[in-house]
Every structure is written in structure tokens, then in C-alpha cells.
Structure 1
Amino acid sequence: MEILKVSAKSNPNSVAGALAGVIRETGSAEMQAIGAGALNQAVKAVAIARGFVAPHGVDLICIP
């Protein structure tokens, strides 16, 4: 499985799009964030991606 790496400088909308794409293709995704800033961007991306996949009947959850 491909790991999506998130940094503090990552754009949450871009990460969300990548996350939603991986979830649509494989059904699951894995992200890596090291540090508070990166984790903040990753959490934002999960929230945004949840809105992207919801119309397709997918409920996105996050397991740390």
C-alpha cells in the first residue's frame, strides 16, 4: 500500500484529493505525518476528503 506523506507545508485540499483518489481505487489509504504541523494538515485533509467521498456512500474514519 502506498503511504501518503504529509508535511507541515502540504496543502490540505491537495492531500484530500489524493486521499479520496486512493480510497476510491483501493478502499483504504495510509498517511504518514511527523510533527504537530504535519499532523494538523493531515487531520484537515481527512475532514475535507470525508466530504469528497461521502456522496459515493463512503464513510471515512481515521485510526491513529
Structure 2
Amino acid sequence: MAELIKVSAQSRSTAVAGAIAGVMREQGYAEVQAIGASAVNQAVKAIAIARGYLEQDHIDLVIVPSFTEVEIEGNERTAVRLSIFQRPPNLVPPTEQA
């Protein structure tokens, strides 16, 4: 399992993108976790930026979202977890189909 990349509303999307790209190059899989709408927005932007960083390495991404419960300061919170995989060559987005 890859190290969990935690994203907050204040996270710089380019810095998170660099972390995602690095983990994807090394392990081929990454997980991003965010709590709250602004943090999820930053996480999604970071994944889009990371996709651009990885383009030169011929790595494209597939994202699987899920919910997970986390405990913060004794309180249970719901986080969005984005599991990021390398896109298999046979999985073609509708815009690229012939």
C-alpha cells in the first residue's frame, strides 16, 4: 500500500501533484485523502496537474473514489479517499474511442 497523501483546503495543488507524480513513478499506485469540499477540490486539481506531469512518462491515471471514516481529535469524520492507478492501455475514455 502506498503512503497516504493527506490534502487540506490550504494545500498547494502543485506541491500535492508533485507528490502524487513521484509516488506513481515509484509505486504505480497512490492514495489521496481529503476532508471537506475545499480539500477535495484541491485534491482533484492536484490529480489533474499530476496527470500532466506524468504525461512525458506515458503514464495516464484512473481514479477510484471512496468514503472512509477517520478519527480527528476524538471526533469521527468522513473523508474522501481517491485511489489512483495507472490506466491500463485497453481502458480508453469515450473521447478517445474510434
Provide runs of 4+ in structure 1 moved above 4 Å: none
**Distance of 2:44 and 2:62 partners within structure 1:** 11
Superposed counterparts of 1:29-48, under 5 Å: 29-48=30-49
Deviation at residue 55 of structure 1 after TM alignment: 1.1
Greater relative contact order structure (CA < 8 Å, 6+ sep)? 1
User: What is the aligned residue count?
Assistant: 64
- SS of the residue 1:63 aligns to: strand
Deviation at residue 21 of structure 1 after TM alignment: 0.2
The runs of 5 or more residues in structure 1 that have no matched partner are none
- State the partner residue of 2:53: 52
Deviation at residue 60 of structure 1 after TM alignment: 1.2
- SS of the residue 1:8 aligns to: coil
Q: Which has the larger radius of gyration?
A: 2
Give the structure with the larger strand fraction: 2
Q: What letter is aligned with 2:55?
A: A
| RMSD, aligned CA | 0.6
Give the structure with the larger helix fraction: 1
Q: Could you state the TM-score of these two structures normalised by the residue count of structure 1? A: 0.96
Identical pairs, percent: 59
Q: How far does the alpha carbon of each residue in 1:14-58 deviate from its partner, in whole angstroms, 9 at most, with x for none?
A: 000000000000001001001000000000000000000011110
- State the partner residue of 1:61: 62
- SS of the residue 1:39 aligns to: helix
